[in-house]
Structure 1
């Protein structure tokens, strides 16, 4: 049932007249009037009161008068005149009352005009020189004194300069400065950018890139190694960042790469810059979701160029190959006789071996190809074009020279960008410096990583606490149970009711699931079946200096601009968790992500990349380089680059920490742990395949 304001029995703005009694006359077509007369006092005797803007029936006034209770003694009558003449008395009363009301209104208007005209505030000089207190006093006395008589005008005074505006204590801060846009050249700057015309006997290798950045990186590592063994010049495609092209069979992937071009879409640039108010054309949809940059915009290939000659290939068309490499054209629809195409129908169709003595099984691959035989078969062709080269173990390098070359190519994949390196070093130093904080690379945002987030984070927590921090299982379980109880009221009440309950009696989501392929038996480094043993120093290297015992904020290596999220631990066995922790993650809300809660709960001084972008409760000084990063745009297509570079920056900062741990099954995490972390600390990289 609908409720109405106290003191009223009907909803506002509805008819408040009484219902007609049986037999009383009513109009067949009721009308509504907003100007019906009402008493300033409302109805006498405590009946309902109408506001001046309320609507009511005008055909029930006469019946309403007959039902009206008698007015109390001394009260003004609701209507003037008599009722003997039917409605004439009421009409006469309305006219008389209306006349008096007009005279009253006219008098009030004249009084207000005189007060305004002869008020001392009208004097410009007085108004400009009077203090707020004097103005307030003038207004107060003006209300009490009688209306002054007209006085002769005051002599003309020179105009005074206006007073400066009053300062407002809570004036909003000025808007931030507009973002500085910098168009950067993303093309290579070394010999890769200016390749001479091909020589008569020069042979080339091409491959088809696909998928995300790190899949493309693995493909490039294999392509460089493959070109080194074959003795061919490698055609290097640009890096495709953003919306990726998935793997498909050889011919379909080639056509997809050929069509994936922004040629002829120059008009789309103006929409990205906000220079046009017209609707975005259909051909521009998805224009800003991807772009291409040269590999040397992200990494340093100078050492790799000493081993393998390279030529950039920004154009994926067949016509470009024939013209750039001076290939013979095929007759009709026939392909060029200078191209040998090794076509694949599935991603893991071919596995390449550099030695016939290597008897390693194919594993997930379907067909074995010996590189020595492939070299002889393709020697007469100017271009060898293969499909996908993705897969860490696709190339089995048994020969020592080939193994050394592949190590060089993998080390060359370490990120190398001036602005990203500057930001990384700034945040690293604020976190305490190299090896003075723990680093984690946690993927929970999509696909299999979202599905397996709970078990993956449990595995990483156990590895961090027991293997990296060297703490007992009892301490690790205590922190895990405390984190779980913080979010489960039932567990919290149970812990309070029985504090002596063994830790094993409280179930914890941080216990690795027995159904997960990542159990406690796989927490150590996974040493896959490699063609050669790991180099000395990949695992056995000098340890980093120990972290200080942090009992107070003064003991922490963190910069003074950073503030921990919670008070530090005071119990002696929990002091190791006062160490700083940096989490690189694809979680959109890491602070409130339940998959990451155990790390934020256990480490009071946990930080993510977002904490350094602006000032906040955890950071009093924003990192200027992050603002510059937001302003970077590709010079070619005007697509912002910062959106694609944050994951790379995240991994760099985490890799400078100590004891870096990554997410199982993630090629990105594996690269950060096996290559970035090792190179940053001066250790040999961990080889795979």
Structure 2
């Protein structure tokens, strides 16, 4: 009995010690887990800043401005809020014109670059959305190590970023004539009311309920064609009578938002300044244009969304037609190429003709170089040379995926068998790879790729764009003239 009791006591003691050890291990493990979570959510990781902007040759007259800076210097001001880069650019141009006409300082929100375009919001909804768009408390997101799961609050952090306008364009000439304060963040637009202005009499708000609520007119007699889609006219002379320190607009997007009469010199001067001047973008574009040489032609073909999908066949035919019509071809060559290719555009067959441009109208005709000059540069010749192919290099900018196999591009690629896309120049895109926004650590490379596309097409000897596209209009009316002046 004594022996059996002694054995039982030993077993019990061993079990007790094992349970105690297990409890200690579990307690230690729980403590370590809690400590790791504490470090994960309370520590801000180091943020790699991007210094490329500061290395630029552009020295903006007005620095990027915070709400606190504004509260220290209250004068009469005008503020405009906005979607899509080119829509924002047009709104910014209109705001600059209005600020000059009203003799007010412009509080310019930054350009919002995002993976998805911002849809239109009526004034009150937009105001609330901007107020909640700040990134306070998310400073740790850019520094999350790649081997850790992204915290839920950071999941969409890298989908967008804000960049002041004077980082993309040289606005020094404009800012010599008028004062522009560049806000750091879209949320500052809402914060201005609480930080600077205290009563309704301090702010004149022009609320909009739809994208074409009002048009702003300088005065005089104007054609109804430019005002038909707008519900209300606002005269500049009426706005000049208000003495409120702040005038706040909703959307100012729209090429016909401002009606200035016969004198568009102010708007023209502003548009001339909207040429992309970022040094890294210029370096990347130079690597592509140097490879293509000076005799290439460029097109922008928008087919991927909205009305452009429905009009795809007609758009592709029109771009192709406008391109071949302005080359240095004989009427017979144009007719032969037209007859050979027009059936490839599906529903356009037999409904639209592609007649040559009269020689006296072809101001931008491009001579045809010999193909041997470009043979070594043509990486993917589209078929063998023939009577219906042109030996001129073509740079294609488009929004459709797998563009080389897209049906609507086939007649264009057959006509211009030495065609290039931006994807053919990965080394140029790699130049943009290290660009980061110094404020929030978000990579800018993917947002800057469309800018690179625009710059390359703008350097082409001849450019043809998509009717109704703001991208095409920007290249045709701003970049191309600036690069060829």
Equivalent residue in structure 1 for 2:274, among 400, 407, 413: 413
Matches within 5 A, 1:275-294: 276-278=147-149, 280-294=150-164
CA distance in 2, matches of 1:199, 1:404: 34
TM norm structure 2 = 0.80
Specify the alignment match of 2:265 in structure 1: 404
Q: Which has the larger radius of gyration?
A: 1
Given that 1:205 and 1:234 are in contact with CA atoms closer than 8 Å, whether structure 2 keeps it comes out as yes
Partner Cα distance (1:354, 1:635) in 2: 40
Of 157, 171, 174 in structure 2, the residue corresponding to residue 301 of structure 1 is 171
SS in 1 for 2:244: coil
Shift of 1:204: 0.4
Structure-2 separation of matches of 1:200 and 1:632: 33
**Contact kept? 2:142, 2:440, Cα under 8 Å:** yes
Corresponding residue number in structure 2 for 1:430: 291
Q: Confirm whether residue 604 of structure 1 aligns to residue 412 of structure 2.
A: no
Hey, what's the Cα distance between the residues in 2 that align with 1:414 and 1:611?
25
Q: Please give the residue correspondences for 1:180-195 in structure 2 after superposition, counting only pairs within 5 Å.
A: 183-184=50-51, 189-193=59-63
Which residue pairs with 1:462 in the alignment? 321
Q: Select 1:668's aligned residue among 460, 471, 474.
A: 471
Pairing 1:353–2:226 present? no
Do residues 371 (structure 1) and 236 (structure 2) align? yes
* Distance in structure 2 (CA, Å) of the matches to 1:521 and 1:406: 35
1:496-536 Cα distance to aligned partner (Å, 9 max, x none): xxxxxxxxxxxx5273686xxxx669999xxxxxxxxxxxx
Change in CA separation of 1:186 and 1:264 when aligned onto 2, cut-off 3 Å: farther
Specify which of 447, 459, 462 is matched with residue 644 of structure 1. Answer: 447
**Residues 569 and 244 (structure 1), Cα distance of their counterparts in 2 relative to 1, 3 Å cut:** closer
1:359 and 1:455 mapped to 2: Cα distance?
29
Pairing 1:590–2:463 present: no
SS in 1 for 2:215: strand
1:208 is matched with 81
Residue 226 of structure 1 corresponds to 98
What SS does the aligned partner of 1:651 have?
helix
Q: Once the two structures are superposed, what CA deviation does each residue of 1:117-159 show, in whole Å capped at 9, x if it has no partner?
A: xxxxxxxxxxxxxxxxxxxxxxxxxxxxxxxxxxxxxxxxxxx
Structure 2 CA distance for aligned equivalents of residues 460 and 546 of structure 1: 16
Q: 1:438 to 1:653 in 2, by over 3 A?
A: same
Structure 1 residue 544 displacement after superposition: 5.3
- Which of 393, 401, 404 is the aligned partner of 1:580? 393
Deviation at 1:227, TM superposition (A): 0.8
Task: Pick the aligned partner of 2:208 from 336, 339, 344.
Answer: 344
In structure 1, distance between residues paired with 2:422 and 2:191: 42
> What do the CA deviations read for 1:607-664 (whole angstroms, capped 9, x no partner)?
1111111xxxxxxxxx3x4222122222222221111111111111111113311112
Identify the residue that residue 511 of structure 1 maps to in structure 2: 348
Residue 681 of structure 1, CA deviation: 1.2
- Per mean C-alpha deviation after superposition, the further-off stretch among 314-323 and 292-301 is 314-323
Match of 1:30? none
Shift in alpha-carbon separation, 1:566–1:356, aligned structure 2, 3 A: closer
Other-structure match for 1:145: none
The answer on 1:442 being equivalent to 2:301 is yes
CA distance in 2, matches of 1:349, 1:649: 34
1:393 aligns with 2:209: no
Tell which deviates more after alignment, 598-607 or 233-242.
598-607
1:583 shift after superposition: 0.4
1:373-398 CA-to-partner distances (Å, cap 9, x unmatched) read 2211x2x2000011110000110112
Secondary structure at 1:393's aligned position in 2?
A: coil
Measured after TM superposition, the shift of residue 290 of structure 1 is 0.7
- By percentage of residues, which structure has more helix? 2
Distance 2:171 2:400 in 1: 32
SS at match of 2:432: helix
Q: How far apart are the structure 2 equivalents of 1:219 and 1:522?
A: 37
Aligned to 2:18: none
What are the equivalent positions in structure 2 for 1:608-687 lying under 5 Å apart?
608-613=421-426, 623=427, 625-682=428-485
TM-score, normalized by length of structure 1?
Answer: 0.57
What is the CA distance between 1:546 and its match in structure 2? 4.4
Change in Cα spacing, 1:182 to 1:509, as seen in structure 2 (3 Å) is farther
Q: 1:317-339 CA deviation, whole Å, 9 max, x = no partner?
A: 46632476x43x23xxxxx4211
The 3 A distance-change label for structure 1 pair 638 and 317 is closer
Q: What stretches of structure 2 of length at least 5 have no aligned partner?
A: 1-47
SS of the residue 2:134 aligns to? coil
Q: Displacement of 1:559 after TM fit?
A: 8.1
Equivalent pair of 2:364/2:462 in contact (CA under 8 Å): no
In 1: Cα distance, 2:350 partner to 2:111 partner: 38
In 2, Cα distance between the equivalents of 1:239 and 1:309?
18
* Shift in Å, 1:399: 5.8
The aligned counterpart of 2:121 is 248
The number of aligned residues is 425
Distance 1:355 1:199 in 2: 35
Query: Is contact 1:462–1:476 with CA below 8 Å preserved after alignment?
Result: no
Q: What is the deviation of 1:244?
A: 3.2
**SS at 1:191 equivalent:** coil
The 3 A distance-change label for structure 1 pair 317 and 656 is closer
Displacement after TM superposition at 1:346 (Å): 0.9
Q: Which residue of structure 2 aligns with residue 565 of structure 1?
A: 381
